[in-house]
Amino acid sequence: MKAVFAWTMFFGSILIGVTLGAGRATASPVDGTWIIDDLVLDIFDCQTLVCGRIVGIRDANRRPTQCGMTIVWGLAPTAPSEWTGGSILDPDSSTVYRLSARLQPDGALNARIFTGIELIGKTKILRRIDLRTFPGRC
């Protein structure tokens, strides 16, 4: 009975800590809607990391299978405007790449997409967009 009480107190204190800490969370500076190539991504916080899901696609044929897919996950902040350790899924080929990102002073988000060595990867530039103006919304 003492063991049950101890576990209850332990998990209760964790729950209280999580609940109290939740109010102190702040949004990431990259939260919002971004366009990359022909996709629009909703970038959002997911358990202290940065994730992204498809909310718009220019090609209407791809919308039924790709809209709503989370294709960015695991980006961890390393500085106020830098994230590393993430992954990105190419929704057309189902290939997963490694990902890092840096918010530029002009507001652009540079995403470094690579396999193995970051230096050998490629950079994609994301720009903020108002989803209401995008014709291929999901």
Q: Where are the domains of the chain?
A: 32-133
Residues 6+ apart with CB under 8 A from 41: 33, 34, 35, 52, 53, 54, 55, 71, 72, 126
What pLDDT is stored for residue 26 in this prediction? 62
pTM of the model: 0.77
- Mean per-residue pLDDT for 20-25? 41
Of 120 and 113, the structure prediction assigns the larger pLDDT to 113
Band (pLDDT 50/70/90 cuts) for residue 10 is very low
Spelled out in words, what is the top-level CATH class assigned to the domain 32-133?
mainly beta
Of 115 and 21, the structure prediction assigns the larger pLDDT to 115
| Token duo for residue 24 | 């102190």
- Mean per-residue pLDDT for 66-88? 96
What pLDDT is stored for residue 74 in this prediction? 96
22 pLDDT higher than 50: no
Distance between CA atoms of 131 and 11, rounded to whole angstroms? 41
11 pLDDT higher than 70: no
